[in-house]
A and B are shown apart, each in its own frame.
Chain A
Amino acid sequence: MILDGKCPTGPIEKSWDKHRFDLKLVNPANKRKYNIIMVGTGLAGGAAAASLGELGYNVQAFCYQDSPRRAHSIAAQGGINAAKNYPSDGDSILRLMYDTIKGGDFRAREADVWRLSQVSNNIIDQCVAQGVPFARDYAGYLDNRSFGGAQVSRTFYSRGLTGQQLLLGAYSALSRQIKAGTVQMYNRREMLDLVVVDGVARGITVRNMVTGEIESYAADAVCLATGGYVNVFYLSTNAKGCSVTANWKAAKKGAFFANPCYTQIHPTCIPQAGEYQSKLTLMSESLRNDGRIWAPKKKEDVSKLPADISDADRDYFLERKYPSYGNLAPRDISSRSAKEACDAGLGVGPGGRGVYLDFADSIKRLSEDTIRERYGNLFEMYEKITDENAYKRPMRIYPAPHYAMGGLWVDYNLMSNIPGLFVLGEANFSVHGANRLGASALMQGLSDGYFVIPYTIGGYLVTVKPGAVTTDHPEFKKSVVDVKATNNKYLSINGKKTVSEFHRELGKVMWNNVGMARSKESLNEAIKVIPQIRDEFWNNVKVTGSGTELNQQLENAGRVADFLEFGELLARDALHREESCGGHFRVEHQLPDGEAMRDDVNFSYVGAWEYKGNDKEPELHKEPLKFETIHLAVRSYK
């Protein structure tokens, strides 16, 4: 099937305004008759729930943590982009759009990216009005910093806590609506199924994580804002609870999964210290504003103290290979370069998994205090984990799975191919193409939540009669029975391996075969091994306790079971995409200098997969990509 993104036509500059005008409006008096389910209350879901509640809709919002304030958006450090052009350094909406399309290696839709760039400026205004304490200069004006993949300074920030501050802004707006009664908040609930009636999304089935009860909720539209899936690699910068479960359950009910192979490996994370490790910690990309990345030139130097390696014996490899972007080269390029150095035996620290991020020059140029003011909390975090003082010796960093560009397929209105199912934030595939630029995910989450869904959902709701289906419908009952049966199955296997052991095993297969460099061979290996792990899981996992109480093993079993199915789809998508683009690097497809080689003739499309049943091959649907404003070009950061 050829998919239609339903993008507006005509001049790009007018596309969003025109589309908004064309959308039908819901009569204000009728809004309260509509129920909307919002699964996830991070930046995307929190902003959306608050804005929809404010418009007068009835919103039921869900999250798995004990409070909406804890969604993993909270962990974003570096900043959020906007085309304000406050520094007058040549920025514009068109330039932000250009950088995003190019950064994504020409695998995103132009209309969506234009809209994102256009509303980016409203986001900053909105957050300021909420009391988000962005960094300011002494005169009181908003301050900016630079991020990878851009030559202008357009990143707004709040210390190294930007995600926290933005999320708390959205959380406060959400709290106001909860108090006003327009949003009903359900904490400690995990969505375990999507309920589809006659092809239309009508509700969800969730587990109350405190009592174990399986509950049904019906609505006129269901929104998923459930974040990214890179915990499929086990070790990642995501929170422990991040999963693909909500998205995957929707996919199993017919929603297409787009570009699952576009995953981002972040270049600057703290290297793994041991086998027991449970997660990896990011060191914000903003550090690359003032830190220089290097590896020793000679193998015999790798175990020396960094201070004992002379400047002549250091390879500042990003500055050498990409002189115009230097340490601010995009993430995919920076990660691969670091991996190359380590693969060549030039890595430092345990297992040779690390390169240096060095602040000595900046400290000399700007003073230690200035560096502390800019990145103090990051240096502190680094010291807590490694016991090393990065003011005195360079940080050790290594790439780690970080972000999912892929996600459920949505059209321009953020609606999936299932009518009534909308997908927001990292959970959808829409704007980042094959690689996301730094400081653009926060922008996307808030754009989707504050400025897109409040308009586009109305265009759908006017076509449906409110309250047409209730939880009495047999599909809801069936879903509850299915969810209970699956949970009982986990509890009854009583095998010999813990859920975490399976997750680690899957993670290793994914990292080694479907990680930073992928080949036909490695991908086929993954596609062979993952079903074996899955089979063993269903015969040999051990989950203690019962389903009718708080049971973290049971929660985790469900998430890992879904990763064990989804991981295979990710590998299949990577296998089918016979090109390299952005975060998807196929070793067979590279230019003589090792750069990614895109194939625009054969692969300039969104690949959206339809689930056909376990152990059956999924079916690929394509949405061709057209580039009318930004011309297709080889991406170069040299």
Chain B
Amino acid sequence: MSDHKTMTLTLIVWRQKNANDPGKFETYSAKNITEHHSFLEMLDCVNEDLILAGKEPIVFDHDCREGICGMCSQVVNGAPHGGQDRTTVCQLHMRKFKDGDTIYIEPWRARAFPIIKDLIVDRTALDTIIQAGGYTSCHTGGVPDGNAILIPKPIAEEATDAAECIGCGACVAGCPNGAAMLFTGAKVSQLALLPQGKAEAVARVKNMTKAMMECGFGNCTNHYECQAACPKGINVKFIARMNREFLKAQFA
């Protein structure tokens, strides 16, 4: 373990007091960082110094710190979540950086995600899309036995691939148009693949796409930046599936 080697880094961080403040970049120094620090632990250290110096710490969203809640949301050196394969920014570790590096840190930037403060944005638009139809309308109780609905393994696996989305919004932040196609496509596909979701498939895809447009997300022009940004490796094939479902719905 090379616990003794430490790094000093220069951080250039977006600071914005509230939604109305124009915001600007500020420069900070992160000292005594080891390769085992996670990226957020590195920011914790910087914040502890800021607080003790009587300055406002940098605020950022986070909770589970293990890559599953989807709360963390930072653009690091231009890439949502820092651009490592299948890695959220809370799972990014400082061993990916070198002593003396300069790191740019910004919030998600998208029309549908207004900035609340510093690195924190408002992502309720993603909830609005799910509320428009991201469910099966089953009642609590009064459902058949779990094994009454047979789902062959490959179908269950593909539905799970889609269901792994953590709703972080990196796909939107990575998209030049600020589209939410990967996020929406993943949910539409999960439910369209499963027998339980088929009954409402037509209404679902229509309502969810409509909500997506109304929330101010952009159009998809096939850049596939979303897949590159996605920390869960959600595949763009689910966008294609949603498009097919959408077309089918026009004739249904």
Q: Are A179 and B132 in contact (CB under 8 A)?
A: yes
User: Is residue B222 within 8 Å, beta carbon to beta carbon, of the partner chain?
Assistant: no
User: Is residue B56 within 8 Å, beta carbon to beta carbon, of the partner chain?
Assistant: yes
Q: Are B194 and A69 in contact (CB under 8 A)?
A: no
Q: Shortest distance in angstroms between A66's beta carbon and chain B's nearest beta carbon?
A: 6
User: Is residue A54 within 8 Å, beta carbon to beta carbon, of the partner chain?
Assistant: yes
Q: What separation, in Å, do the CA atoms of A570 and B70 have in the docked complex?
A: 32
Query: Which one of A126, A173, A273 lies within 8 Å of B36 (CB-CB)?
Result: A273
**Closest A-B pairs by Cβ, 6 of them:** A140-B150, A172-B135, A129-B143, A129-B138, A136-B156, A273-B36
Please choose the segment from B121-129, B234-242, B243-251 that sits at the chain A interface, where 4 or more of its residues have CB less than 8 A away.
B121-129
Q: What separation, in Å, do the CA atoms of A79 and B221 have in the docked complex?
A: 39
Residues of A within 8 A of B (CB): 47, 50-51, 54, 65-70, 72, 74-75, 84, 86, 122, 124-131, 133-142, 158-159, 161, 164-165, 168, 171-173, 175-176, 178-179, 185, 187, 210, 239-241, 273-274, 276-279, 281-282, 350, 380-381, 384-385, 387, 450-451, 454, 496, 498, 500-501, 542, 544-545, 549-550, 552-553
User: Is residue B152 within 8 Å, beta carbon to beta carbon, of the partner chain?
Assistant: yes
24 A-B pairs with C-beta separation under 8 A: A67-B126, A70-B71, A70-B167, A72-B69, A75-B68, A131-B190, A131-B191, A131-B197, A133-B159, A135-B156, A139-B152, A142-B147, A164-B166, A172-B130, A172-B135, A179-B131, A239-B64, A276-B41, A278-B38, A387-B95, A450-B141, A498-B51, A544-B55, A553-B57
B 145-156 to A, binary, CB cutoff 8 A, 1 in contact else 0: 111011111001
Interface size class of B (residues with CB under 8 A): 35 or more
Q: List B37-57 residues whose CB lies under 8 Å from chain A.
A: 37-38, 40-41, 44-45, 48, 50-52, 54-57
Query: Which one of A67, A70, A185, A545 lies within 8 Å of B56 (CB-CB)?
Result: A545
Residue of A nearest to B126 (CB): A67
Q: Are A136 and B69 in contact (CB under 8 A)?
A: no
Q: Are B124 and A498 in contact (CB under 8 A)?
A: no
Q: Are B134 and A50 in contact (CB under 8 A)?
A: no
Please choose the segment from B85-93, B98-106, B172-180, B212-220 that sits at the chain A interface, where 4 or more of its residues have CB less than 8 A away.
B85-93
Q: Are B130 and A129 in contact (CB under 8 A)?
A: no
Query: Which one of A50, A168, A278 lies within 8 Å of B140 (CB-CB)?
Result: A50
Q: Are A498 and B52 in contact (CB under 8 A)?
A: yes
Q: What separation, in Å, do the CA atoms of A159 and B69 have in the docked complex?
A: 16
Q: Are A86 and B147 in contact (CB under 8 A)?
A: yes
12 A-B pairs besides A131-B196, A135-B156 with CB distance below 8 A are: A50-B140, A128-B196, A131-B159, A172-B134, A173-B138, A175-B127, A210-B116, A240-B62, A381-B66, A385-B93, A387-B93, A544-B54
Residues of B within 8 A of A (CB): 1, 3, 17-18, 34, 36-38, 40-41, 44-45, 48, 50-52, 54-57, 59, 61-71, 86-87, 91, 93, 95, 116-117, 120, 122-124, 126-127, 130-132, 134-141, 143-147, 149-153, 156, 159-160, 163-164, 166-167, 190-191, 194, 196-197
Question: Tally of A-B residue pairs with Cβ under 8 A?
Answer: 222
**In the assembled complex, which residues on chain B have CB atoms less than 8 Å from the CB atom of A171?**
130
Q: Are B37 and A138 in contact (CB under 8 A)?
A: no
**In the assembled complex, which residues on chain A have CB atoms less than 8 Å from the CB atom of B17?**
549
**In the assembled complex, which residues on chain A have CB atoms less than 8 Å from the CB atom of B132?**
179
Query: Which one of B124, B152, B163 lies within 8 Å of A138 (CB-CB)?
Result: B152
From B1, B55, B63, B159, residue with most partner A Cβ within 10 Å: B63
Q: What separation, in Å, do the CA atoms of A552 and B136 have in the docked complex?
A: 36
**In the assembled complex, which residues on chain B have CB atoms less than 8 Å from the CB atom of A125?**
143-146
Known contacts A134-B146, A138-B152, A385-B93; is A69 also within 8 Å of B65 by CB? no
Residue of B nearest to A373 (CB): B157
**In the assembled complex, which residues on chain A have CB atoms less than 8 Å from the CB atom of B62?**
240
Q: Are A131 and B136 in contact (CB under 8 A)?
A: yes
Q: Are A500 and B57 in contact (CB under 8 A)?
A: no
Residue of A nearest to B69 (CB): A70
Q: Are A133 and B40 in contact (CB under 8 A)?
A: no
**In the assembled complex, which residues on chain A have CB atoms less than 8 Å from the CB atom of B37?**
274, 276
